[in-house]
Amino acid sequence: MPLHCSKVFHKAVKDVRRTIDYIAEFPSLPVSIMSYSFGGMIATMCLALDKRLKGSVLAFSGADYRWINWYSPYTEQLRENYAKYSNEYNCVDELSCIKNRSRDMQRIGVLKEIDDIFSLFPACFHYDPLSYAQFVDQPVLFFQGLFDKVIPFISSQSLFEKLPKAKKLIVPSGHKSSYIFKKTIAQKVLKFLKEIL
């Protein structure tokens, strides 16, 4: 599963970068990216890899798949499949996942080059935004849902803490109920983008 996810996430990153190629044909347009949930994970990877992005808004996103895989209500089927079938790294439960990741987890945040991500074991590090965050030097506005269960708070906090130039705004909502705050979020986003672009 991690090898498959790595391919899928990197394909999404390529799609975003192709879009940036197109936008770059109009040099008067500043380029930034706004994302929500898992899109924020892809956006984090894109920010690390493509410096044409001048900034980002990451909303209700996170990193460190341990917390998402083992605690999000939306990954229950994944947990059942791991328990029943394992994966290519023999992850059958959270403890085996922690054990597999323990050695290279300590390298996160101190990698010298972005390509060093691909030396990490297991492959889930190859698409985990936690691995990419240290390479994001653009300004980021980060929305965090106080009661978010889809992206658990600890996952969201993990990503925020690794982003060197992130400013956090906490929204008193869950993941989906953040929609209630769409006007406030839009105002904050516009203000942020005017400041950085």
Domains of the chain: 2-196 (3.40.50.1820)
Q: Are 140 and 163 in contact (CB under 8 A)?
A: yes
Q: What is the mean pLDDT of each run of 10 residues along the chain (197 residues)?
A: 90 97 91 97 98 97 95 94 92 94 93 96 95 98 97 97 98 97 98 96
> How high is the pLDDT of residue 109?
87
> How high is the pLDDT of residue 83?
94
Is the pTM higher than 0.85? yes
Give the burial string for 184-193 (b: 16+ CB within 10 Å, else e): ebeebbeebb
> How high is the pLDDT of residue 27?
87
Helix axes 2-23, 38-49, angle to 10 degrees: 60
Q: Are 144 and 168 in contact (CB under 8 A)?
A: yes
Q: How many CB atoms lie within 10 A of CB 100?
A: 18
> How high is the pLDDT of residue 12?
97
